[in-house]
Amino acid sequence: EAGVTQSPTHLIKTRGQQATLRCSPISGHTSVYWYQQALGLGLQFLLWYDEGEERNRGNFPPRFSGRQFPNYSSELNVNALELEDSALYLCASSSGTGQYSNQPQHFGDGTRLSIL
Amino acid sequence: GDSVTQMEGPVTLSEEAFLTINCTYTATGYPSLFWYVQYPGEGLQLLLKATKADDKGSNKGFEATYRKETTSFHLEKGSVQVSDSAVYFCALTSGGSNYKLTFGKGTLLTVNP
């Protein structure tokens, strides 16, 4: 079974540019989550998509946005890039988000975004 | 809000030593608890999980028991190997309408031969 795949592996941008990161979940998984792993800040929840809808977002400014496509893949868009956006962006997927579901999230290897 | 506190690293052990990484949590309701491991240059891998009080999660010789009375989920392994060198994250989800993972800051483990 293929795991969560993310592209690109590395992305180099300059301040003010826009970045698009992509994620394909494990087959059969309908939920996609995005996390930021910045040096010194640990792992921070960014966004959660399920069945094409944004279900929850973390404490990030609106220039962080995304979407989920009908095939459940997802994009994370970061506009007006700032130096502090440099981080590893991790995507995770899970199956079943019923009210009492506790299915674990499975992670991809991440996209390393560097802002120059 | 939810929070996870795990012991500060780095932790350095010799091969075959006993490992404990402490993790305590604060959460509303009845959280599910997880340990994830991150090897250099990679994403996170689920190591083990427990979804209710007194559950024991285990995998690859690692164990952790969900202790509701002490709000803890300590990770243990009886005999570590060099290949266990990685960063270990304790995490929880509160469920309900909020499925985000809340992580501890991570503990770097280095095992020397």
Of A48, A104, A109, the CB nearest to B43: A109
CB atoms within 10 A of CB B35: 26
8 Å CB contact of B98 and A56: yes
- Which residue among B32, B97, B105 places its CB closest to the CB of A42? B105
The answer to whether residues A35 and A43 touch, using CB atoms and an 8 Å cutoff, is yes
Contact in structure between A64 and A78 (CB atoms under 8 Å): yes
For the cut 60, the answer to whether the pLDDT of residue B57 exceeds it is: yes
Are B9 and B108 in contact, with CB atoms under 8 Å apart? yes
Read off the pLDDT of residues A53-95 as tens digits, 9 standing for 90 and up: 998 899 999 999 999 999 999 999 999 999 999 999 999 998 8
Task: Determine which helix (DSSP H) or strand (DSSP E) holds B21, and give its type and residue range.
Answer: strand B19-21
Whether omega before B10 lies within 30 degrees of 0, making that bond cis, reads yes
pLDDT band per the 50, 70, 90 thresholds, residue B97: low
A100 has pLDDT over 50: no
Best residue in A33, A43, A45, A97 to probe B by mutation, most B CBs within 10 Å?
A43
pLDDT at A99: 46
Nearest CA in chain B to A39: B105
Cis amide leading into A61 (omega within 30): no
